[in-house]
C-alpha cells in the first residue's frame, strides 16, 4: 500500500515536472508556436497540446479504466499559444485536484501499454516519462528559435 508520504512525494514530483513544463510552454514566443523542425513533426503548440491530451487520457484511464483516445486538446480547439497557455494552467490545476483525491494508487489495472495488468503508480510513472520526452523536444524547439529554455530547478 502506498503510504501518505509516498503519495505526497509522487504528487510533489508531478507538480515540479508540471511547473517546468508550464515554464517551457510560456517561454515560446507567440509568433513561434507553429515552429516544427520538419514537416512530419508536431509543432511546438501541438507538442504542448499533446502533453495535456496524454496526461488527461492516462489519468482518466487510471481512475476509470477507460482508454479511448478522444482528446479535446487539439490544434483546432486551441488555435494559438495564448489559448494553449490558458488551458495548460487550468488543466494542470484540475489534474492536481484529481491526484490529491485519488485513492487507488495500489490498484492493478489493464492498460494499452502492456499486455499484463500494471499498478496505477506504474501507469503514472509512464505518464511522467512521456511528458519528459515531449518536453525535451520542446526545449530543443526553443533553442532552435534562439530562446534560452527556463532553468529546470526554478519554482
The model's confidence at residue 74, banded by pLDDT at 50, 70 and 90, is very high
Rounded Cα distance between 56 and 95, Å, is: 8
- The confidence score (pLDDT) of residue 106 equals 86
- pLDDT tens for 28-73 read 999 999 999 999 999 999 999 999 999 999 999 999 988 999 889 9
Domain ranges (residues) in the chain: 4-144
- To the question of whether residue 130 is assigned a binding role by annotation, the answer is yes
Rounded Cα distance between 111 and 45, Å, is: 27
155: pLDDT strictly greater than 70: no
The model's confidence at residue 103, banded by pLDDT at 50, 70 and 90, is confident
Does pTM top 0.75 for this prediction?
A: yes
- Mean of per-residue pLDDT scores for the chain: 93
The model's confidence at residue 3, banded by pLDDT at 50, 70 and 90, is confident
What dotted CATH number matches 4-144?
A: 1.20.120.450
Cβ pair 67, 57 in contact under 8 A: yes
Rounded Cα distance between 3 and 105, Å, is: 10
Cell matching residue 67: 482508454
- To the question of whether residue 134 is assigned a binding role by annotation, the answer is yes
- To the question of whether residue 50 is assigned a binding role by annotation, the answer is yes
Q: C-alpha 82: how far from its chain's center?
A: 17
Rounded Cα distance between 155 and 42, Å, is: 28
Amino acid at each position: 500500500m502506498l503510504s501518505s508520504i509516498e503519495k505526497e512525494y509522487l504528487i510533489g514530483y508531478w507538480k515540479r515536472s508540471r511547473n517546468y513544463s508550464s515554464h517551457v510552454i510560456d517561454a515560446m514566443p507567440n509568433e513561434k508556436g507553429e515552429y516544427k523542425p520538419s514537416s512530419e513533426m508536431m509543432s511546438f503548440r501541438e507538442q504542448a497540446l499533446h502533453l495535456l491530451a496524454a496526461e488527461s487520457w492516462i489519468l482518466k484511464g487510471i481512475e476509470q479504466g477507460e482508454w479511448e483516445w478522444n482528446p479535446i486538446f487539439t490544434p483546432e480547439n486551441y488555435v494559438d499559444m495564448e489559448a494553449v497557455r490558458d488551458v495548460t494552467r487550468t488543466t494542470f490545476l484540475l489534474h492536481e485536484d484529481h491526484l490529491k483525491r485519488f485513492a487507488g494508487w495500489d490498484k492493478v489495472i489493464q492498460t494499452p501499454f502492456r499486455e499484463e495488468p500494471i499498478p496505477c503508480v506504474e501507469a503514472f510513472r509512464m505518464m511522467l516519462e512521456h511528458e519528459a520526452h515531449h518536453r525535451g523536444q520542446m526545449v530543443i524547439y526553443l533553442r532552435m528559435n534562439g530562446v534560452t529554455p527556463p532553468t529546470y530547478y526554478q519554482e
